[in-house]
């Protein structure tokens, strides 16, 4: 028989984990405790110190018990991924408040509901991202990857045309610091035919 693992979390330093522990201990004899104190539920489970240690410790056949499903997190997508990962590793997940146990029909039904909510959240995130992209385009802001700059081409164009740094930046549609960097590299690495040094 596997171990009973208790996990508790509070979001602020003013809060205490005592009530959560008591609720769990009233139903289960816990073999090992893990906690995250003053850690927001918005923080991904994998980035919490206590939960990360729990994931390293827990084994197939163990049961993870929380007082409420929101102790695992407040991001539905993250909670679903966490529960699915535990399930894949053969770990049962029990939430006392919701009566959520992954291995039971009711637990599986709740997991299905959780998945539906998570999918809705993913869709909402994509919709917000698209709205942001459309707004940026409407405002004339550039999107996508940062432009790849050919330092040698920039330096040689400036040298050949005897142009200033500012004019070169405008020609290539890059920043002044980028032109300065290209020019410095050209002189250091000897790309130019002569040691020209136009004023910028």
What span, in angstroms and rounded, lies between the C-alpha atoms of 167 and 172?
9
Q: How many CB atoms lie within 10 A of CB 141?
A: 9
Alpha-carbon distances, residue 69 vs 20, 24, 110 (angstroms): 12, 13, 11
Catalytic residue among 11, 95, 123, 197: 11
Task: Tell me if residue 35 is catalytic.
Answer: no
Q: Which two tokens stand for residue 21?
A: 């522990």
DSSP 85-102: HHHHTT-EEEETTTTEET
Catalytic residue ranges: 11
């Amino acid at each position: 028989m596997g171990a009973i693992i208790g996990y508790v979390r509070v979001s602020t330093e003013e809060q205490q984990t005592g009530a959560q522990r008591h609720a769990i201990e009233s139903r289960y004899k816990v073999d090992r405790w893990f906690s995250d104190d003053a850690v927001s539920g918005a923080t991904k489970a994998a980035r919490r110190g206590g939960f990360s240690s729990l994931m390293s410790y827990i084994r197939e056949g163990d049961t993870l018990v929380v007082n409420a499903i929101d102790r695992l997190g407040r991001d539905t997508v993250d909670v679903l991924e966490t529960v699915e990962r535990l399930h894949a590793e053969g770990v049962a997940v029990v939430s006392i408040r919701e009566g959520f146990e992954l291995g039971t029909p009711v637990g599986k039904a709740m997991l299905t509901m959780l998945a539906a909510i998570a999918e809705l959240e993913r869709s909402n995130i994509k919709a917000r991202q698209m709205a942001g992209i459309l707004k940026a385009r409407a405002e004339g802001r550039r999107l996508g990857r940062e432009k790849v700059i050919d330092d040698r081409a920039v330096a040689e164009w400036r040298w050949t045309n005897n142009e200033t740094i500012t004019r070169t930046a405008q020609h290539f549609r890059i920043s002044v610091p980028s032109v300065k960097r290209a020019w410095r590299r050209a002189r250091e690495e000897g790309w130019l035919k002569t040691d020209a040094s136009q004023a910028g």
